Amino acid sequence: MGAPMRHPVRTAAFVLVAVALVAAAWVRIPYYAVGPGPAQSVTPLIDYERQPRYEPSGRFVMTTVRYFQVSPLQALWAWASPDWSIVPRSDLFAPGVPEDVQNQRSISQMDQSKIDATAYVLKRLDRYPMVHGRGALVEATVPDCPADGQLFPGDVIVAIDGKPVGSVREASVALDAVPSDRPIEFRVNVDGTIEHARFTRQRCVQDEDRRLVGVSLLNPFPFPVSIASAKIGGPSAGLMWALGLYDLMTPGDLTAGRTIAGTGTIDPRTGAVGPIGGIRDKVVAAERAGATIFLAPADNMAELANVDTGGMRVISVASFDEALSALRAAGSNA
């Protein structure tokens, strides 16, 4: 007969504490830690053909926000950290939208920001969009419309219902020729590979009775431009892509040897710089990356009150032209 178990209450308490510690360390709760992400130089990520390239002596960097779902112990750590905050899942993910769908939309927003930046810079420096490539370039799709998940920013539509498409105007004419209740066939060039999509217009926009495809198109660029962004998502790198491309394609040096950070969307037609999320975290990321200047959207400046930027200068900009002027006034040799 075995010996009786000693101190059963103490043993049970130990087990309960061990289980609680494991749960606190590993069990995820519906909250996320949000804080500064990495900063990355943009000009090494930009490539284009058939045009001169003028490398800067300094760096343009885009800043990011990092977030991850937390355990109770991680939540406590983030709560105690001055650079991190805890937010509910609903602050990051739209209700009812699967995370993989939302992540894909975030990547599409980044792809749109690259297209918008390129379109604006080429409009300033070249005869684009009057001179352009063949097809119709997908700039963006509307969430929950038929094109969402079927066409993606960067795709080039080369035919609609079997009719070749050479421009946005020709794409519009071809779409108008298809009855609104009939499926539309798209032939699409995706990074050199021809793919096909087929869908029917739907009523997909609130307060809009028309059936829509849900796609925004631009004329393709007159020469190849590629920008790598890996799995970074969101629309906020538009301004930095535009500045990096502009500096590479023009003589002079906007950086003047400095590390210049910034954020903001870019309007491909007007160059207006729009507000973004996570501005405080991005300022911290820029300061850690050694930036001496941070270009912030004018509509985000109120959020930066009382933010310690060390020796980094934060400059408010509402347009691409204002960003150029600010850099030149701050001592560049461009």
Residue 23 has pLDDT above 80, yes or no: no
Q: What is the mean pLDDT of residues 298-314?
A: 87
User: In sequence order, which ranges of 177-300 are alpha helices (DSSP H)?
Assistant: 238-249, 279-288
CATH number, span 36-65+92-120+225-329: 3.30.230
The answer to whether residues 256 and 109 touch, using CB atoms and an 8 Å cutoff, is: no
Q: Which CATH number does the domain 133-218 belong to among 3.90.1150.10, 1.20.1250.20, 2.30.42.10, 2.70.98.20?
A: 2.30.42.10
Q: What is the mean pLDDT of residues 3-22?
A: 51
At 277, the pLDDT band (50, 70, 90 cuts) reads confident
pLDDT over 70 for what percent of the chain?
Answer: 88
Q: Are strands 293-297 and 156-160 parallel, antiparallel or unpaired?
A: unpaired
Higher pLDDT, 325 or 71: 325
The answer to whether residues 213 and 142 touch, using CB atoms and an 8 Å cutoff, is: no
Residue 329 has pLDDT above 50, yes or no: yes
Give pLDDT, residue 155: 95
Report the run of H or E that residue 226 belongs to, with start and end: strand 225-227
Q: Which of 75-79, 87-91, 178-182, 268-272 has the lowest mean pLDDT?
A: 75-79
Give pLDDT, residue 6: 54
Residues of the chain within CATH 3.30.230 domain(s) are 36-65+92-120+225-329
Helix (H) and strand (E) counts in the chain = 7, 16
At 22, the pLDDT band (50, 70, 90 cuts) reads very low
Q: Can you give the pTM of this predicted structure?
A: 0.84
Average pLDDT of the residues of the chain: 85
Residues of the chain within CATH 2.30.42.10 domain(s) are 133-218
